[in-house]
Amino acid sequence: MRAMMLMAALPILALGCGKKDAAPAPPPVGWHQEEGWTMQCYFPPDYGSLNESQRRLERSQILDEMISQWNGSREDGVSFDEDDIMTLETVLLGRPEKIEAVSQGNLTECKKVATGSSASAWNSWVRSLPAKLTDGECLTPFDFTMFDYLDIGAGWQRTLPICQGDVIKISGTENDKYRITDKGPWINVAGDTSQPPASELPCNLEGCHPGTLILRFVSEAGVENIYAVGEELIFTAPEHGEISYQINDTTMYDNTWYTKGGLTDHTAIEISAMEEVR
C-alpha cells in the first residue's frame, strides 16, 4: 500500500521539477519610457543580430529619430543648437557606420536626463561629437583644379586647404614677364636666374632665385616649409595643412608687369589635383 502511494506521488514530483522560470522580456527597441522617467528615450536594436541591409535601414531611421529629439520636435524639454545638430548630421551622413555607436551613447545621455540630470551635459556631448568622429581625418581634400592670376604686388595668395597625401601640380605661364626692381631685368616665374638665392628672401633654397614663383605649405601644427615652383612643381602634402603662393620677393611696391603695344602681361596660375598617393 505504501509502495503504491509513493509511486503515485512520483509523477507529481516530476511535474514539479520540470517547471521553468518565465524568460526575461527582450530589451526594448525604439521609443521607450521606464517607470519614473520624465520622458522617452530611443533604444537602438542589437546591431549584431542584423544583416548589412537591415543595419543600413536602421541607421537611417535612428539618425532621424535622434535628430527629432535633439531639435525639440518631440516636445519633451530637449532642444539643442540647430548648427550643432546640422554639423553632426553632416558628419554622420558621411560616416553612417558611426551612427551605431552614437545611438548607444545617445541612449546613455538620454537616460541621465530622463532620470533627473540636466540636459546641458547631453548638449555638450552632441556638440563634441563631430570633432571626435573626425579626429585624424582631413575634411578638405584637394580634388579640383583652380585657375588664377598671379599678383606680383602682394604676398602669400589664395590659401587653400590640402590633406595629407594629396598630390598637386602648380604651374605658372612662362611667356608672361615682370620685373621686381625699377631697372631690373624682365623675368618670368623662373625668377632672375642670374642671381643666386638670397637669405633675406622668403625662399633661399636651390632654385629659389629672386622673383621665382614659390609655394608655401603650413601644416596643421603650424610648421612652415617653402618650395621653389618656377614654371611647374609637383607637390605631395606630407601632412594636413594649407598651401599658398607668391613670387620670391619682399618689396612688392616696385614690381611691374611687362607691357607692349598696349597689352600687359599677367601670369596665369594653375593648381590641379593629381592621382593621390596615400
Residue by residue, pLDDT tens for the chain (278 residues) are 444 444 444 444 444 455 566 677 788 999 999 999 999 999 999 999 999 999 999 999 999 999 999 999 999 999 999 999 999 999 999 899 999 999 999 999 999 999 999 999 999 999 999 989 988 888 789 999 999 999 999 999 999 999 999 999 999 999 999 999 998 999 999 999 999 999 999 999 999 999 999 999 999 889 999 999 999 999 999 999 999 999 999 999 999 999 999 999 999 999 999 975 44
pLDDT at residue 173, rounded to an integer:
97
* Residue 79, C-beta contacts closer than 8 angstroms, at least 6 positions apart: 70, 71, 72
Predicted pLDDT of residue 21: 63
Instruction: Give the mean pLDDT of the chain.
Output: 91
182 burial type by CB count under 10 A (0-12 exposed, 13-18 middle, 19+ buried): exposed
The region that residue 196 occupies, defined by phi over 0 for left and psi between -120 and 50 for alpha, beta otherwise, is: beta
CA distance 226 to 248: 10
Q: How high is the pLDDT of residue 18? A: 53
Give the percent of the chain with pLDDT over 90.
Answer: 85
User: Which residues share a beta bridge with 92?
Assistant: none
Residue the block writes with cell 542584423: 50
Lookup: cell for 167? 598630390
pTM of the model: 0.62
